[in-house]
């Protein structure tokens, strides 16, 4: 089993790319123990990432991370035809065809066409004992369940878990004429009839405790219940008389453990107690004697023994399919990273613990800001994470390093990120916006919300300017094309001045020309008030230099993402304890509604 920071034989893997390509190319058949997927739900929204504004959250600091909008296009039609011509198993093809008849050609159907081949591949990569959790909401859960039935077999449908993801809204007063929608759904399937299962127990609710554990031991204040010791069926030594005694003037019966009744003591009453009519003792005489010696038996007025069951010795109630005890990531959540649709670690903790063991492999093919990955790492599972958005992958790396320390870098591989100039050129050709975001992140900057014109900035680096928390800005401009010249430097200088920023950084794929270097040299310097150090007002740096480890000449920069606090849940702690801990520190704030 791999320990947290040891490099493992097979490193954990983080992929930047489309999960269908990655699954088909890089994930072996039967290699995964548990899959958790939280795909976009067809909610018709573009999700924004909130970048750290250093103490304030500013709407303008949001950038679009991924788009949850699906449309039926000629390409969708072609994919549908391909899937139905042998691209997926026959039952899945039948289910998909039936849905097209039902739904027609619309956004919902486009979403299902997109999801089907991914679900087929996720089934393929699961081990025979593996499980899958598909996180969705009631918009699409009924269609996805039919698809999963067709791929996994309805007999392998284990649960439909309902997670209460937000508190009740009072939207009725604002005119809502239906019930509030406050839950998500997790569809839980096993690949076969044997699967990994580590049950989780939660606290009994207060009403149950009040009605069942009604007694309290005066000396210890321990709560207990009295359990009947008879059973309907006989088995072994279960039809004996239980001997009890009591001294004159004492009300309570006690077990006659030394068989005094055979030579009765004066002033002592003896009695043999039989099980109730048509019933038998549930335990052998020896077992009952052991319980009595341990002080675990009490007797009724008739001398009938009852077992003293302490509340604090109970594991709790095994977890059911209604989860109302996990708060969403609201704006005050400790673990909030600002990634849209970020899920709480406690939710993933439950999934990962229940359906895998240490050393097992957890896969999240839509891993977002890496909640599953971080939880798997903490619980000593191996993991594979995939996301198609550059920001997500970048954020996961920062989350892992911030949470587990720098050395974690040696335990996982990142695939799909440019490692050299050729890779950067390929990314530029494939997606200019992602290229710009990647280049901005190389200089520890925050990417801009949208593509802007040539004179504009692609990102901003923030740094401290004084001890009271003041910050300065360096505008980052990225140029991926081959056509570059001094006018880019002059444009950047103009932008720095109009935006009243302190500095500018021009990142290029191509080597800067002599004219560019001269223009930058003549742009002047910035005086950092902290120690009167001077930095070039405009700096030029190439992707190749950055990949080789070159650092900018600048004051220490601030992290671009909202920082994840270190995980506060120790690995060995059970969720039961986690809940108790959470209850011990009730939040003063009302958890806010989370938008999906």
Ligand X SMILES: C[S@@+](CC[C@H](N)C(=O)[O-])C[C@H]1O[C@@H](n2cnc3c(N)ncnc32)[C@H](O)[C@@H]1O
Q: Which is nearer to ligand X, 367 or 489 (CB)?
A: 367
Which of the ranges 33-41, 140-148, 160-168, 482-490 carries the binding residues for ligand X, by CB under 6 A? 33-41
Q: Which is nearer to ligand X, 366 or 383 (CB)?
A: 366
Q: Residue 366 interacts with ligand X (CB under 6 A)?
A: yes
Which residue lies nearer to ligand X by CB, 122 or 492? 122
Q: Based on CB atoms, which residue is closest to ligand X, 120 or 386?
A: 386
Residue 187 or 297 having the CB closest to ligand X: 187
Write out the H or E segment, with its range, that includes residue 486.
helix 486-498
Q: Does 385 bind ligand X (CB under 6 A)?
A: no
Which of 2, 4, 18, 240 forms a contact with ligand X (CB under 6 A)?
Answer: 18
* Region of residue 53 (left: phi > 0; alpha: psi -120 to 50; beta: else): alpha
Contact between 66 and ligand X per CB under 6 A: yes
487 or 595: CB nearest ligand X: 595
Q: What minimum distance in Å lies between the beta carbon of 3 and ligand X?
A: 25
Find out whether 517 and 489 touch, Cβ atoms under 8 Å: no
Cβ closer to ligand X: 135 or 473? Answer: 135
Cβ at position 51, least distance to ligand X in Å: 16
Task: Work out whether 343 is an interface residue with ligand X (CB under 6 A).
Answer: yes
| Identity of the residue, 288 or 562, whose beta carbon is nearer to ligand X in the bound complex | 562
**Dihedral sign from CA coordinates of 66, 68, 74, 77:** positive
- Do residues 349 and 569 lie in contact, with contact meaning Cβ atoms separated by under 8 Å? yes
Least distance in angstroms from the C-beta of 339 to ligand X: 5
Across 319-336, b (16+ Cβ under 10 Å) vs e yields beeebebbbbbbeebebb
The dihedral over CA atoms of 335, 340, 345, 350, expressed in degrees to the nearest 10, equals 160
Q: Which helix (H) or strand (E) holds 163?
A: strand 157-164
Residues 6+ apart with CB under 8 A from 256: 243, 244, 245, 270
Element counts in the chain: helices (H) and strands (E): 16, 29
Quick check: 448 binds ligand X (CB under 6 A)?
no
**How many positions of this chain bind ligand X (CB under 6 A)?**
19
**Would you state the structure tokens that stand for residue 50, as one six-digit string?**
């909130």
Q: Cβ of residue 310: shortest distance to ligand X, in angstroms?
A: 39
Q: For ligand X, which residue of 116, 166, 341, 355 counts as binding (CB under 6 A)?
A: 341
Q: 3-state DSSP call for residue 306?
A: strand
Site for ligand X in 387-446 (CB under 6 A): 387-389, 392
> Hunting for tokens 């031991």 — which residue is that?
217
C-alpha distances (whole Å) from 373 to each of 263, 479, 502 are: 70, 33, 38
> Is 35 a binder of ligand X (CB under 6 A)?
no
Determine, following the binding rule CB under 6 A, whether residue 133 of this chain makes contact with ligand X: no
Does the footprint of ligand X cover residue 447 (CB under 6 A)?
A: no
* Residue 13 near ligand X by CB under 6 A: no
Residue 484 exposure: Cα atoms within 13 Å on the Cβ side: 24
> What sign results for the dihedral spanned by CA atoms 529, 534, 535, 536?
positive
Do residues 138 and 163 lie in contact, with contact meaning Cβ atoms separated by under 8 Å? Answer: no
Cα separation of the two ends of the chain: 37
**Residue 40 sits in the site that holds ligand X (CB under 6 A):** yes
42 binds ligand X, rule: CB under 6 A: no
Which residue, 113 or 475, is less far from ligand X as judged by CB?
113
369 binds ligand X (CB under 6 A): yes
Q: From CA 298, how far away is CA 242, in angstroms rounded?
A: 13
Tell me which of 12, 19, 539, 557 binds ligand X, using CB under 6 A.
Answer: 19
Query: In the complex, which residue's CB is closest to ligand X?
Result: 368
At closest approach, how far in Å is the CB of 374 from ligand X? 9
Q: Token digits for 219?
A: 């000396």
368 is an interface residue for ligand X by CB under 6 A: yes
Nearest CB to ligand X, comparing residues 38 and 121: 38
DSSP 411-474: GEEEESS--SHHHHHHHHHH-HHHHHHHHHHHTTPEEPSS---TTS-SEEEEEE-STTS-EEEE
CB of residue 117 vs ligand X: minimum separation in angstroms? Answer: 10
Q: Work out how close the CB of 344 gets to ligand X at its nearest, in angstroms, rounded to a whole number.
A: 8
Of the candidate spans 37-45, 167-175, 467-475, 545-553, the one that interacts with ligand X by CB under 6 A turns out to be 37-45
Looking at beta carbons only, is 348 or 520 nearer to ligand X?
Answer: 348
Of the residues 116, 156, 190, 342, which one makes contact with ligand X according to CB under 6 A = 342
Query: Is 49 within 8 Å of 447 (Cβ atoms)?
Result: no
The interface region with ligand X, picked from 6-14, 147-155, 367-375, 410-418 by CB under 6 A, is 367-375
Kindly state the smallest distance separating residue 222's Cβ from ligand X, in Å. Answer: 40
- Please report whether residue 158 would count as binding ligand X according to CB under 6 A: no
Phi, psi (rounded to 5 degrees) for 429:
-70, -35
What is the DSSP pairing of strand 412-415 with strand 12-16? parallel
How far apart, in whole angstroms, are the C-alpha atoms of residue 426 and residue 442? 17
CA angle 434, 439, 442 (to 5 degrees): 130
171 binds ligand X (CB under 6 A): no
Distance CA 423, CA 421 (A): 5
Please enumerate in sequence order all residues whose Cβ is within 8 A of that of 15, keeping only pairs 6 or more positions apart, or say none: 22, 26, 384, 385, 386, 387, 393, 414, 415, 416
Q: Is residue 188 close enough to count as binding ligand X by CB under 6 A?
A: no
Q: Which is nearer to ligand X, 40 or 459 (CB)?
A: 40
User: Which residues from 67-86 bind ligand X, rule CB under 6 A?
Assistant: none
CB 358 within 8 A of CB 381: yes
Residues 535, 461: Cα–Cα separation, whole Å:
14
Letters for 301-340 (x = contact with ligand X by CB under 6 A, - = none) are --------------------------------------x-
Segment interacting with ligand X, rule: CB under 6 A, options 199-207, 227-235, 296-304, 382-390 = 382-390
| Candidate list 33, 38, 121, 349; residue touching ligand X; CB under 6 A | 38
List contacts with ligand X (CB under 6 A): 18-19, 38-40, 66, 339, 341-343, 366, 368-369, 371, 386-389, 392
């Amino acid at each position: 089993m791999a320990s947290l920071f040891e490099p493992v034989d097979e490193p954990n893997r983080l992929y930047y790319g489309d999960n269908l390509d990655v699954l088909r190319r890089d994930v072996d058949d039967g290699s995964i123990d548990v899959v958790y997927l939280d795909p976009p739900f067809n909610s018709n929204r573009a999700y924004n990432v909130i970048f750290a504004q250093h103490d304030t959250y500013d709407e303008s600091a949001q950038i679009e991370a991924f788009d949850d909008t699906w449309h039926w296009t000629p390409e969708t039609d072609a994919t549908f035809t391909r899937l139905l011509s042998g691209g997926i198993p026959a039952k899945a093809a039948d289910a998909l065809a039936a849905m097209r008849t039902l739904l027609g050609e619309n956004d919902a159907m486009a979403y299902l066409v997109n999801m089907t081949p991914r679900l087929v591949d996720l089934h393929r990569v699961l081990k025979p004992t593996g499980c899958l959790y598909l996180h969705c909401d009631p918009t699409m859960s009924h269609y996805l369940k039919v698809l999963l039935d067709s791929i996994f077999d309805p007999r392998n449908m284990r649960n439909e878990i309902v997670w209460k993801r937000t508190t009740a809204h009072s939207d009725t007063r604002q005119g809502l004429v239906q019930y509030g929608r406050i839950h998500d759904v997790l569809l839980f399937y096993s690949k076969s009839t044997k699967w990994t299962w580590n049950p989780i127990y939660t606290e009994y609710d207060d009403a149950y405790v009040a009605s069942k554990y009604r007694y309290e031991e005066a000396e210890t204040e321990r709560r207990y219940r009295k359990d009947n010791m008879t059973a309907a069926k006989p088995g072994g030594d279960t039809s004996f008389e239980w001997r009890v005694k009591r001294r004159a003037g004492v009300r309570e019966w006690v077990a006659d453990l030394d068989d005094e009744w055979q030579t009765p003591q004066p002033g002592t009453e003896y009695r043999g107690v039989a099980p109730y009519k048509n019933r038998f003792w549930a335990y052998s005489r020896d077992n009952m004697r052991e319980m009595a010696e341990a002080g675990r038996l009490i007797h009724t007025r008739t001398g009938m023994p009852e077992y003293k069951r302490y509340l604090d010795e109970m594991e709790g109630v095994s977890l059911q399919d209604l989860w109302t005890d996990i708060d969403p990531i609201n704006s005050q959540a400790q673990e909030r990273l600002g990634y849209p649709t970020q899920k709480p670690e406690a939710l993933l903790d439950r999934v990962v613990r229940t359906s895998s063991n240490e050393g097992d492999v957890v896969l999240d093919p839509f891993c977002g800001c890496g909640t599953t990955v971080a939880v798997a790492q903490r619980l000593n599972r191996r993991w594979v994470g995939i996301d198609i958005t550059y920001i997500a992958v970048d954020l996961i790396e920062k989350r892992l390093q911030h949470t587990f320390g720098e050395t974690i870098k040696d335990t996982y591989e990142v695939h799909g990120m440019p490692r050299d100039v050729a890779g950067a050129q390929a990314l530029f050709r494939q997606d200019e916006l992602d290229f710009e975001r990647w280049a901005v992140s190389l200089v520890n900057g925050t990417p801009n919300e949208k593509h802007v014109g040539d004179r504009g900035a692609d990102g901003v680096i923030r740094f401290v300017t004084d001890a009271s928390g003041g910050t300065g800005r360096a505008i980052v401009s990225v140029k991926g094309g081959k056509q570059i010249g001094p006018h880019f430097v002059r444009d950047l200088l103009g932008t720095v001045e109009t935006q009243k920023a302190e500095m500018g950084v021009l990142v290029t794929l191509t080597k800067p020309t002599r004219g560019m270097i001269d223009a930058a040299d003549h742009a002047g310097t910035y005086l950092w008030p902290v120690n009167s150090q001077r930095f070039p007002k405009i700096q030029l740096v190439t992707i190749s230099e950055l990949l080789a480890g070159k650092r900018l000449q600048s004051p220490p920069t601030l992290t671009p993402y909202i920082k994840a606090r270190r995980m506060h849940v120790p690995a060995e702690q059970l969720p039961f304890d986690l809940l108790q801990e959470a209850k011990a520190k009730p939040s003063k704030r009302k958890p806010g509604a989370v938008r999906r």
